[in-house]
Amino acid sequence: MKKRITELDFIKGLAIILVCIGHAVSQIPGTGPDVYEENSVFRFIYSFHMPLFTFISGYICRLTLRTDAQWLKKRLRQIAVPYLLALVLWYVILGRSSITSFLSPMAYWYLPFILIADTVLFLENKYRLRGLLFAGVIGISVIVCKFERSQIDIAHHLSHCLIFYAAGTAAPELKKRHGDKLLPIYCILSAGFAVLTPLYGQGMERQMSRLEKIFGSFPHIRLLTALIFITNKFIVPACGIGAILLITYAVYHVQQTKLLRAAAETVGRHTLFIYVLHDLFLRKIADDLLLSYIISVPTAIIVPMLLSIAFNRLKAHRCDTK
């Protein structure tokens, strides 16, 4: 068994905490999209948190990747079973939406995304396609997004986040070759994130409206709109990932952050359980929304984490008794 890389657990821990906070802001009753999409915490998190998750997923998958079919079968099984359970939770137990709206928006879209992304990476590596399959899947997803009529949600996520997943698969080799020489790049990306995040808006229409409020009206010419779209969808998330990498570098070079590291690493080792189960605990507990967040978010992290620990110990015990 390969030794866990603590920095990766730390980043996963930060990412799933951001997911829980972002979902709490948007899902706890009391505010609608017009309110929470203008919330500064919501905008900060949603500007980069899922690209970060897909980036780190690609990074980890590259480290564990093998070319035998058993690896792929095991990997798909590890994701498919929790995904089916998550769908039962979302549509049957929580009743958040009707199964007829399955394609848009797709509940727990990250899990089918990883099923597809890991399969693409496996085939890329096995047949040495040098990025051709990644490009092909992204291209098909873009076409589907442009011409489909039923709002196939997974296509939107593939066209956006698969680029960050692919970047994550290339990152281990870059880190191996250049190491600490990447630090200035992290600093530049972090500076860009600090500048661009206040301008970020969720969705293109809201983004344009937000920019007009800040800078006044400007002509909606195609080139300018395309530049804003690229900045919103790709540059801001890339800068956010760079900022997290810089934070991770700093945290692991300061002795006083040992407790913070340990806490985030512990959370990061149980992200799958937290991702699938956290929605159960995001509830309006009091009229004070802030109090609801303070109680709900830690509960949504800690309880699934404890269940994950219990499950892993039970599984280890069963293996020992065989």
| 116-168 pLDDT, tens digit each | 999 999 999 999 998 999 999 999 999 988 887 667 888 989 999 999 999 99
CB atoms within 10 A of CB 260: 13
Task: Say how far apart CA 178 and CA 209 lie, in whole Å.
Answer: 41
pLDDT band at 99 (very low <50, low <70, confident <90, very high): low
- Crossing angle between the packed helical segments 49-64 and 110-127, to the nearest 10 degrees: 40
To which H or E segment does residue 83 belong?
helix 69-88
Nearest Cα neighbor of 59 from 166, 164, 168, 167 is 168
- pTM attached to this predicted model: 0.92
pLDDT, tens digit (0-9, with 9 covering 90-100), for 181-229: 999 999 999 999 999 998 888 777 777 777 777 777 766 777 888 888 8
Q: Are 21 and 45 spatial neighbours (Cβ–Cβ below 8 Å)?
A: yes
Find the helix or strand (DSSP H, E) in which 52 lies. helix 49-64
Q: Work out the widest C-alpha separation in the chain, in whole angstroms.
A: 70
Task: Report the distance separating Cα 192 and Cα 166, nearest Å.
Answer: 22
Q: What is the DSSP string of 158-210?
A: HHHHHHHHHHHHHHHHHHHHHGGGGHHHHHHHHHHHHHHGGG--SSHHHHHHH
Q: What's the sign of the alpha-carbon dihedral 114, 58, 251, 247? A: negative
Angle formed by the axes of helices 153-178 and 110-127, nearest 10°: 50
Give the model's pLDDT for residue 101.
67
Would you mind telling me the total number of residues written for the chain in this entry?
322
pLDDT for 67-94, tens place per residue?
Answer: 899 999 999 999 999 998 888 888 877 7
Q: What sign results for the dihedral spanned by CA atoms 137, 138, 139, 142?
A: positive
pLDDT score, position 1: 46
What pLDDT was estimated at residue 288? 83
Interior angle at CA 237, CA 171 and CA 130, nearest 5: 35
Confirm if 197 and 43 have CB atoms less than 8 A apart. yes
- Bigger pLDDT: 318 or 280? 280
Please say if the pLDDT value at position 12 is more than 70. Answer: yes
The CA distance from 196 to 237, in Å, is: 10
Q: What is the pLDDT of residues 282-303, one digit of tens each?
A: 988 877 888 999 999 999 999 9
pLDDT for 88:
84
Residue matched to tokens 């159960």: 280
Average pLDDT, the chain: 89
- The interaxial angle of helices 49-64 and 153-178, nearest 10 deg, is 60
Q: For the chain, report the end-to-end CA distance as a whole number of angstroms.
A: 19
Q: What angle do helix axes 258-268 and 289-321 make, rounded to 10 degrees?
A: 70
Q: Of 226, 152, 236, nearest to 201 (Cα)?
A: 236
Alpha-carbon gap, residue 81 to 104, rounded angstroms: 21
Q: 233 with 203: CB under 8 angstroms?
A: no
pLDDT, one tens digit per residue, over 18-35 is: 999 999 998 887 667 777
